[in-house]
Amino acid sequence: MSGNTFGTLFRITTWGESHGYAVGVVVDGCPAGLQLSAEDVQKELDRRRPGQSRASTARQEADRVEMLSGIFEGRTTGMPISMLVWNKDADSSAYDALRDKPRPGHADFTYQMKYGLRDHRGGGRASARETVGRVAAGAIAKKILILEGIHIAGYVIELGGIKADIKSSDISELSVKAESNPVRCPDLGAAKNMLQHLDEVRQEKDSLGGIVAIIAEGVPPGLGEPVFDKLDADLAKALMSIGSVKAVEIGAGLHSAKMLGSEMNDSLKIKEGKIEFESNNAGGILGGISTGAPIVCKIAVKPTPSIAKRQRTVDIVSLEPAEIEIMGRHDPAIPPRIVPVAEAMMALVLADHLLRQRAARL
């Protein structure tokens, strides 16, 4: 019922609120024997951490992970792995005035309607702070995938309508370039324009949205469970479950609606004795099962809902109209920050299906 758990064999439960004591995750179902250190997890959490550039919020969260269970002498034991990050830089005062005034574009109104009460500080459970648990668990999933030669990369391909021109198909090169700039865009010229546009919009007390690509290479054919746990269905759920994601595309995605069958179908060929596809409009998935081609997903991320501009809302106690200006510290654009979170969600789905595939046939 509660919706805090994700995955079938590689299963995670995240917990914690933005301004509570801590946030964390319990990973159950990680096989024994995986070499794992706090540094493996910390590396990914550092990529998620806000306050590192002018493309993200100034909130300074040290976000040091503490690993409480499931590891012995540097290797997983097969027992639940519990990880925790303390909330140290939470400033709740900015939220006092918003207690009875739901912020437009946020989950305030829906949480209030559903539960009849809510932890209003920093968005509570709906806050992006919850993604700490996803990224920590995703770091473990990534380690499992790397053992199988599966690599994941994410980067921003559009911000505020400015499109990146991506020429390379080498995902490690694209990833290195993306990580070299604050907007995480591998086209460095476009990145500069995005950053400038972001500065202008921020001065107008507004925010931007964009599109992020997440790609997995080295995925063997055969991952995905017909019919309800298809790989594309699980990826769509995983990516859509991230706050601010409004659309998920796989392969040709929305554009496929405009294509002819002869254009859309990826013809098969033999290359050096192996079966391959001439194109990848399917985004690496057919019938919900991986083809062996790269898995290509794109997500549309909405503009940050917390903006300093004056907005209309209502007071839920007096039922009078009200206006708010959101002060706090916020990301002027979410796409750069969502990259490690989206990679983590893809890693969780692939690790889960990799383990499930091992039970699929004798």
Which residue, 130 or 232, is less far from ligand FMN as judged by CB?
A: 130
Part of the chain binding ligand FMN (CB under 6 A), chosen from 93-101, 158-166, 175-183, 303-311:
303-311
Q: Is 181 in the site for ligand FMN (CB under 6 A)?
A: no
Which lies closer to ligand FMN via its Cβ, residue 30 or residue 334? 334
Which of 304, 344, 351, 352 is in the footprint of ligand FMN by CB under 6 A?
A: 304
Q: Is 23 in the site for ligand FMN (CB under 6 A)?
A: no
Conformation bin of residue 273: beta by default, left when phi > 0, alpha when psi is -120 to 50 = left
By the rule CB under 6 A, 163 interacts with ligand FMN: no
Question: What track of x and - describes contact with ligand FMN for positions 331 through 350 (by CB under 6 A)?
Answer: x--x--xx--x---------
Minimum CB separation of residue 354 from ligand FMN in Å reads 25
Count other C-beta atoms under 10 Å from residue 80's C-beta: 15
The owner of tokens 């390379």 is 168
> Which stretch, 32-40, 65-73, 122-130, 185-193, contacts ligand FMN (CB under 6 A)?
122-130
Residue 306 near ligand FMN by CB under 6 A: yes
Question: What is the helix (H) or strand (E) element at residue 270, kind and residue range?
Answer: strand 268-271
Contact between 238 and 345 under an 8 Å Cβ cutoff? The reply is yes
User: How far apart (Å, rounded) are the C-alpha atoms in residues 14 and 23?
Assistant: 8
Shortest approach of ligand FMN to residue 157 CB, angstroms? 17
* Reduced DSSP (H G I as helix, E B as strand, rest coil) percent helix, strand, coil of the chain, to 5: 35, 25, 45
The DSSP-derived string for 299-314 is: EEEPPPS--SS-EEEE
Q: In the complex, which residues of this chain contact ligand FMN (CB under 6 A)?
A: 57, 106-107, 123, 126-128, 131, 242-244, 302, 304-306, 330-331, 334, 337-338, 341
